[in-house]
Amino acid sequence: MQTNPTHTSLVAVGDSFTEGMSDLLPDGSYRGWADVLAGRMAARTPGFRYANLAVRGKLIKQIVDEQVDLAAAMRPDVITLVGGLNDTLRPKCDMDRVRGLLTEAVERLAPACKQLVLMRSPGRQGPVLERFRPRMEELFTCVDELAERHGALVVDLYGAPSLSDPRMWDVDRLHLTAEGHRRVAEAVWQTLGYEAEDTEWRTPMPPSAPPGWLARRTADVRFTRQHLLPWIGRRLTGRSSGDGRPAKRPDLLAYQDPAVQE
């Protein structure tokens, strides 16, 4: 890892986590950690180029089929790859197949860039994810092994206490808030070798009084109605929230801040 490197281009590959949900902008689009990271890198390097191929809901097979070759053909300085977590959350998940597809993605992407970045995705506290945690940790073991084999960097978000705090997660309990995305951007920034802008990104937020029983139950009912039941419905019918949705930045072009675009 270089210290204060100069990178001229970044391509982000993945699912909703990399697309930027739920870091909502006024126009209804999402920013997210990859956009924040690209903005920082662009501020250091005139003419910096950025593409974000990630689309919400994508499984690792879809990422391999739809994004990996496109990213490799762009030959950027940095590629970030985060995928496979959606697979682990499915009731039926073939982890051997997931590991094989992730390996295929890394083997294609690592030679196509100067630096490949992988991640151990963050996981919030709560009973729902406990059922899937063994699969998640199996996925992260694969990530570590692939990184060592192919010279990739690993950003350990799973081991960051701050990102397990429920306050870092949106009401859907699956996607980070704007503050969560900011901390992820800082983590990747530092892992790439840039000087830290926030040395405390891992530090948990100050404790706050827990919500009362009624507030918790109200939040649970809203979550179930607005997010959990639609998610279950999509699983049962084989649909995805990303069906038919294009990537928000499909081409490797000069970076433009999405918050100030007209």
What pLDDT, on the 0 to 100 scale, is given for residue 219? Answer: 55
- Domain containing residue 125: CATH number: 3.40.50.1110
The model's confidence at residue 174, banded by pLDDT at 50, 70 and 90, is: confident
Query: What does 203-257 look like in DSSP terms, one character per residue?
Result: SPPPP-PPPPHHHHHHHHHHHIIIIIHHHHHHHHHT--TTTTPPPSEEEEEE---
Q: Comparing 189 with 127, which gets the higher pLDDT?
A: 189
What pLDDT, on the 0 to 100 scale, is given for residue 89? Answer: 85
Q: Taking 80 as the threshold, does the pLDDT of residue 130 lie above it?
A: no
Average model confidence (pLDDT) for the chain?
Answer: 87
Residue 123 domain-assigned (yes or no): yes
Mean pLDDT in residue range 150-157: 97
Handedness of CA 120, 20, 94, 97 (dihedral sign): negative
- Give the tens place of pLDDT for each residue, 184-212: 999 999 999 999 999 999 998 777 666 66
Q: Comparing 223 with 33, which gets the higher pLDDT?
A: 33
Instruction: List the end-to-end C-alpha distance of the chain, in Å, as a whole number.
Output: 37
Please state the φ and ψ torsions of residue 243, each to the nearest 5 degrees.
Answer: -60, 125
Q: Which of 18-22, 31-35, 89-93, 144-148 has the lowest mean pLDDT?
A: 89-93
Residue 235 domain-assigned (yes or no): no
The model's confidence at residue 252, banded by pLDDT at 50, 70 and 90, is: very high
Pairing of strands 115-120, 78-82: parallel
Which residues, listed in sequence order, are joined to residue 167 by a DSSP beta bridge? none
Token match 């950003």: residue? 155
Residue 238 domain-assigned (yes or no): no
What pLDDT, on the 0 to 100 scale, is given for residue 238? Answer: 60
Residue 2 domain-assigned (yes or no): no
Residue 225 domain-assigned (yes or no): no
Residue 82 domain-assigned (yes or no): yes
Count how many domains the chain has.
1
The model's confidence at residue 224, banded by pLDDT at 50, 70 and 90, is: low
The model's confidence at residue 220, banded by pLDDT at 50, 70 and 90, is: low
Q: In what order do the strands lie in the sheet with 9-14?
A: 153-156, 115-120, 78-82, 9-14, 49-52, 249-254
Cβ neighbour number for residue 254 with a 10 Å cutoff = 11
| Dist. CA 228–CA 96, nearest whole Å | 27
Write out the two tokens for 118. Answer: 């992988």
Domain that includes residue 52, residue range = 9-200+248-254
* 196 DSSP 8-state letter: P
Write out the two tokens for 121. Answer: 């995705």
Percent of the chain topping pLDDT 70: 81
The model's confidence at residue 245, banded by pLDDT at 50, 70 and 90, is: confident
Residue 214 domain-assigned (yes or no): no
Residue 223 domain-assigned (yes or no): no
What pLDDT, on the 0 to 100 scale, is given for residue 262? Answer: 45
| Dist. CA 30–CA 182, nearest whole Å | 13
| Dist. CA 14–CA 84, nearest whole Å | 9
Q: Which amino acid is at 189?
A: W
Q: What is the 3-state secondary structure (H, E, C) of 158-213?
A: CCCHHHHCHHHECCCCCCECHHHHHHHHHHHHHHCCCCCCCCCCCCCCCCCCCCCH
